[in-house]
Amino acid sequence: MATTSRILTQPSPQPAKRVVDIPNPRRSSHTDGDSDGKKLIVGQDICLSGAITACDTLVVQGAVEASLSDSRVIEVTETGVFKGKVEIEIAEISGLFEGELTARDRLIIRGTGRVTGIIRYRQLEIESGGQIAGTIEVLETIETTNDHDSAKQVD
């Protein structure tokens, strides 16, 4: 019987050892600061509406109708739809965006992406197949004067 109880107690430490070896991104984000700690993912087949604030990264795989502020990055995936107003550092659109979008740093429109509405950006990258339509304005750098002559209507 002592051999049997030794066999039963022996496997118990092995699973605990395996759990310690599995990397956990949530655990590492708390030690590294909040770089990934404020990430919101709206999954496919999920609908969300309202105001979103203080979210470092928003990933839209489903449908969102909202205003987004105090955030750094928005990613609208191929299955994602975002309708509303966004003020962001970096926007990467592979799905559909409708509304008012201000990308203070960079706007990336992937080949499957469509952006319509009032669009402001500092840098723009559009892959082949990507679409942009509406009122387009290039944001000036801080050193230059802020004139609104750069706004254009694009159909």
Quick: pLDDT tens for 32-86: 344 556 899 999 999 999 999 988 999 999 999 999 998 999 999 999 999 999 9
Residue 149 has pLDDT above 90, yes or no: no
- Rounded to an integer, what distance in angstroms lies between the CA atom of residue 99 and that of residue 85? 6
| Per-residue confidence (pLDDT) for residue 142, from 0 to 100 | 62
Element (H, E) at 115: strand 114-126
Q: How many CB atoms lie within 10 A of CB 145?
A: 5
| Per-residue confidence (pLDDT) for residue 82, from 0 to 100 | 97
Residue 97 has pLDDT above 50, yes or no: yes
| Per-residue confidence (pLDDT) for residue 54, from 0 to 100 | 87
CA nearest neighbour of 85 among 130, 40, 133, 120: 120
pLDDT band for position 153 (cuts 50, 70, 90): low
- Rounded to an integer, what distance in angstroms lies between the CA atom of residue 12 and that of residue 61? 40
Residue 8 has pLDDT above 50, yes or no: no
Identify the residue with better confidence: 142 or 128. Answer: 128
Q: For the chain, give the mean pLDDT.
A: 79
